[in-house]
Amino acid sequence: MSEPAHDLPVSPAVEQAVELARRGVVTHLTINGERVAAIVPESVLDALRAAEDAEDIAEADAAMEEPGESIPWEQVKTELGL
């Protein structure tokens, strides 16, 4: 999850949703009946980040196990123009 995040002060309109999040409840925000966002407990966000990290680690481990020659980092940088 590398998207930018924003902190906003809680307005009276969302105070109840924030209180629910503190108790572990996910609250969907809607516009014209369409779910457009959610206020989630921090623990849910932590779990999503951990799952994403685990997936990245598994992909890196799988890549390291692929057969073939290792390519030196200096060569990669040169090929990418870095």
pLDDT digits (tens, 9 = 90+) for 15-41: 899 899 999 999 998 899 999 999 999
**Local confidence band at 74 (pLDDT 50, 70, 90 cut-offs):** very high
The whole-model pTM stands at 0.57
Looking at the chain, the whole-number percentage of residues with pLDDT higher than 90 is 65
* SS3 readout for 8-64: CCCCHHHHHHHHHHHCCCCEEEEECCEEEEEECCHHHHHHHHHHHHHHHHHHHHHHH
Per the CB < 8 A criterion, the answer to whether 21 and 39 are in contact is yes
**Residue 2 pLDDT grade (very low, low, confident, very high; cuts 50, 70, 90):** low
Over 70: is that where the pLDDT of 1 sits? no
